[in-house]
Amino acid sequence: MDPLLCSYRNCSERMRIVRCCGPGDFFLERVVFPFELLTFHCPPSTDVQIWARESAGVVLAEQLSADSMAMEESDTVPRPAWLPQIPIRAVGVKGNASSVCLQRG
């Protein structure tokens, strides 16, 4: 099973925590700063949780599947890593946070 290349953009003015729990002891947790784009690899059946700090404490702001956050991959020549990626559409938009699919090539 090939891992998915996923992305998440924090469109809020506060830090978010992205937590991924997948099959076979897969676990990934990252802090995403305001307006930062996080890209990561994970198994296809991974659950992705977005946590936010509110006045009542840390709350689960959004829950997505890795499949819905997957970036489109092209069979053409890959875009060099030093060039900026080009956003083509946002998916899973909820509140101020969204995941973004990026165009490659």
Tens place of pLDDT for every residue, the chain, 105 residues?
Answer: 678 888 899 998 999 999 999 888 889 999 999 999 999 988 888 999 999 988 888 899 999 888 888 887 655 555 556 555 555 444 444 444 444 444 444
Q: Which two tokens stand for residue 86?
A: 């080009």
Measuring CA to CA, which residue among 30, 53, 41, 34 is closest to residue 6? 41
Task: Give the burial class of 36: count Cβ atoms within 10 A of its Cβ; 0-12 exposed, 13-18 middle, 19 or more buried.
Answer: middle
pTM: 0.66
What lies within 8 Å, CB to CB, of 69 at 6+ separation is: 4, 6, 7, 8, 48, 91, 92, 99
